[in-house]
Amino acid sequence: MNKNTFSAALAAAGLALAAVPALAQEQAGSLDDRVNQVFADSTGWFVSLIFSNFPGTSFPWIVAWLVVGATVFTLYFGFIQFRAVGHSIALVKGDYSDPDDAGEVSHFQALATALSGTVGLGNIAGVAVAVSIGGPGATFWMILAGLMGMASKFTECTLGVKYRNEYPDGRVSGGPMYYLSKGFAERGLPGGKILAVLFSIFCILGALGGGNMFQANQAHQQITGVVGEYPGWITGLIFAGLVFAVIVGGIRSIARVTEKVVPFMGLLYVGTALIIIAMNYHLIGWAFGQIFAGAFTGLGVAGGMVGALIQGFKRAAFSNEAGVGSAAIAHSAVKTKEPITEGFVSLLEPFIDTVVVCTMTALVIIITQQLVTDPETGLYLLNEAGNGVKTVGDTSGVGLTSAAFGSAIGWFPFVLAIAVVLFAFSTMITWSYYGLKAWTYLFGEGDAKELVFKVIFCVFVVIGAAAQLGPVIDFSDAAIFAMAVVNIIGLYFLMPIVRRELDSYMSRLRSGEIMKFK
């Protein structure tokens, strides 16, 4: 190569390099679209498989899967969620805790941490979606699903504690991947290991998606709703920085502040809802009338009674995660000699999450009359798209909840925005842990391996906040529900073990062998 051609080549290369950014800029929009398209094409089959309907109906089989599971556990354990509530509350209060175990993880702490992972956007945005598509009747089915889900939680959290790992250095952790592998081996059943690996893969995907990108995305939308539009990556970087500081930097103060503020926000939310309901006390009877009537007739809602039922069941499952297996990870570190006690405690979780908090949201939306009815027939009017009930301000999701609270208390939408952001953050912290546990199950423990996952997790925070990645979020929701497919198969095979624990515990409780310390 002579000097001339060399410089010509250099110049050409320079030109090409200079052209790259311009080209990239030109194609940025289409590049994003292309990434979306490629992702959607390669994962779409998985999403449509998980969310596909029974042939000839609009009923997604995954919802039936969760509800059938909850029903089986409810019947198998003889309506444990209604029989044991008193004992559950006594356990949470610490009546049965050995004072010598002070300083260990209490039942209350395990429950509070698990709740911080589930109470969040599902209770605020999800319920609004359910009520605006399925009408007030969806609330009835949502409560029913919440009550049934208590039995699923009971089963999975008992197993979580029974088959947890107690490491020589004193750490305690567990979850579905451990009860699937250890429990199946103990019963001499094949396939436990395969289910555990599948569960872990779905759990990692669910943690990055529903437990991370979805949260970051919704938090960003809330912030822009208050302060105005700005690029999502800024929110993403701030969130990622905070998450990084907590999970990699071990800066506990941030987590500790969140863990203290979140329960306060939850109480403030429920308290405000109660005040709004009390202010309209004369409408309470009417609201419940709407809920019951809507549950069985549909009151003119698109899809009628079945539409209300699907929405109620679906949002309840999204919100309380009963049967998904995630909570079993958080509950497994509790200090107890009897695994079943954590089952009793965990069944309060869907109750608080769905039967109390979700119902509050629904009641506020109904009572403040955000849903438009026809004054002549009393039936609900459909929105222009025809896929849901017409709302006063044409709002949906968080916007509808916000409008409902705002119509009674003008400044509450700001508090709600803060609450959503905090809920999103605490859900991310909790799910980063769930994902990490699945990761270490697959790849083994070790600082370097764990750091890889934590960094990936933080990167996904930025992606989630910055991009409108519909297909990615669909995929991650699908992954969370895929966890439930694997987990509930396992629970069917392992429920006799829980039954044995339950019978033994109840007989010792009755004979007075297990006594209160207080």
Partner 1 sequence: MSDKFVVGYDGSVAARRALEFAVARAKAQGGTIVLAHVLEWSPYSFLTPTELEERHKRRREEMARAETAVLAPVVAEVTDSGVPVESVIRYGNIADILGKIATEKGAVQIVVGREGYSALEARIFGSVAGTLVQTAPVPCTIVP
DSSP β-bridge partners for residue 42:
none
Q: Which amino acid is at 439?
A: W
Is residue 486 within 8 A of residue 199, CB to CB? The reply is yes
Which residue's CB is nearer to partner 1, number 31 or number 257?
A: 257
Interface residue with partner 1 among 83, 187, 256, 508 (CB under 8 A) is: 256
How many other CB atoms are there within 10 angstroms of residue 303's CB atom?
Answer: 18
Stretch that binds partner 1, among 92-100, 148-156, 358-366, 489-497 (CB under 8 A): 92-100
The amino acid at 51: F
CB distance 238 to 415 below 8 Å: no
The one among 159, 329, 469, 488 contacting partner 1 by CB under 8 A: 329
Judged by beta carbon, residue 83 or residue 252, the one nearer partner 1 is 252
Q: How far apart are CA 478 and CA 500, in angstroms?
A: 33
Q: Rule CB under 8 A: say whether 390 interacts with partner 1.
A: no
Q: Per rule CB under 8 A, is residue 421 in the interface with partner 1?
A: no
Stretches 250-258, 283-291, 491-499, 504-512: which one binds partner 1 (CB under 8 A)? 250-258
Residues 476 and 47: their CA atoms lie apart, in Å, by 9
Q: Can residue 246 be called a binding residue for partner 1 (CB under 8 A)? A: yes
From candidates 43, 81, 88, 106, binder to partner 1 by CB under 8 A: 106
Toward partner 1, which CB reaches closer, 186 or 259?
Answer: 259
Nearer of residues 111 and 364 to partner 1, judged by Cβ: 111
CB of 262 to partner 1, least distance (A): 8
Spatial separation of the C-alpha atoms in residues 46 and 52, rounded to whole Å? 10
477 to 50, 152, 372, 480, 518: CA distances (angstroms): 9, 19, 30, 5, 44
User: DSSP letters along 315-326, please?
Assistant: HHHHHH-TTTSH
Determine, following the binding rule CB under 8 A, whether residue 430 of this chain makes contact with partner 1.
yes
Structure tokens belonging to residue 413: 């939408």
Report the residue from 83, 252, 500, 508 that binds partner 1 according to the rule CB under 8 A.
252
Residue 201, both tokens: 């893969």
Q: Cβ of residue 97: shortest distance to partner 1, in angstroms?
A: 7
Which pair of structure tokens corresponds to residue 457? 């997790």
Piece in contact with partner 1 (CB under 8 A), picked from 3-11, 192-200, 203-211, 260-268? 260-268
Please identify, using beta-carbon distances, which residue of 384 and 447 lies nearer to partner 1: 447
Asked if 427 and 117 touch (Cβ cutoff 8 Å), the reply is: yes
Binding site for partner 1 (CB under 8 A): 94, 97, 99, 102-106, 108-110, 112-113, 116-117, 166, 169-173, 246-247, 252, 255-256, 259-260, 262-263, 329-330, 333-335, 429-430, 433-434
